[in-house]
Amino acid sequence: MPQITVSALYKHPVKSMTPQRVETLELTSDGRVSGDRVLGFRFKDAGDPSDWSWQTKRNFVGLVNTPELARLSVQFDENSRTLQIHADELLLTAGAIDSETDRAQMQQSISDYVLTLDVNPFTGHPERAPAVLVGDGAQPLFHDGVDGLLTLHSEESLNALAGALNDSALDGRRFRSNIAVSGVSEPFGEMSWVGRTVRLGSAEFDVTKPVTRCLVTHANPATGQRDHDVMNALVRHFTPNEPQFGVILKLASGPRLIEAGNALTLLD
């Protein structure tokens, strides 16, 4: 049996924007990824700007309602607490998240940009704009699920889906996983781990459930175009009951650190 290893690690500083590939993931005490989904652009009418409690992704400017958001490049510096967002080579907006003036400017710039896109959530809904930049840049709060746990998929599953879609360049970033692994014995083999425990490096995780996918996965992470009907392909070829891809991990015990190259072992 081939060794299963971590092939890539990602965190997503701003909800629904570009991931940052990293060599290590540090976890919080409740099993979230430190630095992951610590900021988000939420609709103006979705609540008080100081309320950062969990809300559905449909209350945010995100790939589900703004696929071309994928074209934006995000750099968030956790030390200087500054955010830069580029549209292709053009600096769209930048500022310090601790400055109310900078936050207001970034909010308006993103909202103005989104309004220029063919598919956007503001046209016909002026009450949603300008979107409000929520989050303190430290707490990982703005996941699609309220628990905010780790997500994992295998390269074998990605390659099988690429074959079904006839797209050898299918980019795994469209699934916005934290962990990609290679060496799984068969495509979608990770689905069989649900209910079991795995060891990653020296930490142990319970595999709690598959990830059910939505329209977000239809957006190409390089072009922002909805180029594949991923949900339909998953149901037709791999997961007939629901469009599922990848699994969710809950920290059970051990050090709160995952590194690229770590071995993954099934424990039961």
pLDDT at 88: 86
Which candidate, 208, 218, 196, places its Cα nearest to that of 248? 208
Strand partners, 181: 6, 154
Low-confidence ranges of the chain (pLDDT < 50): none
| Whole-angstrom distance, CA of residue 37 vs CA of residue 149 | 11
Give residues with Cβ within 8 angstroms of 153, minimum separation 6.
Answer: 172, 175, 177, 179, 180, 181, 190, 211, 245, 246, 247
Domains defined along the chain, listed by start: 4-32+144-266 (2.40.33.20), 40-134 (no CATH)
Question: What's the distance, Cα to Cα, between the start and end of the chain in Å?
Answer: 16
pLDDT at 268: 79
Rg (C-alpha) for the chain, rounded Å, is 18
Q: Which two tokens stand for residue 151?
A: 């997500």
pTM score of the predicted model: 0.95
Contacts of 105-110 with C-beta under 8 Å, sequence gap 24+, read 106/133, 107/41, 107/131, 107/132, 107/133, 109/85, 110/41, 110/61, 110/85
pLDDT at 1: 57
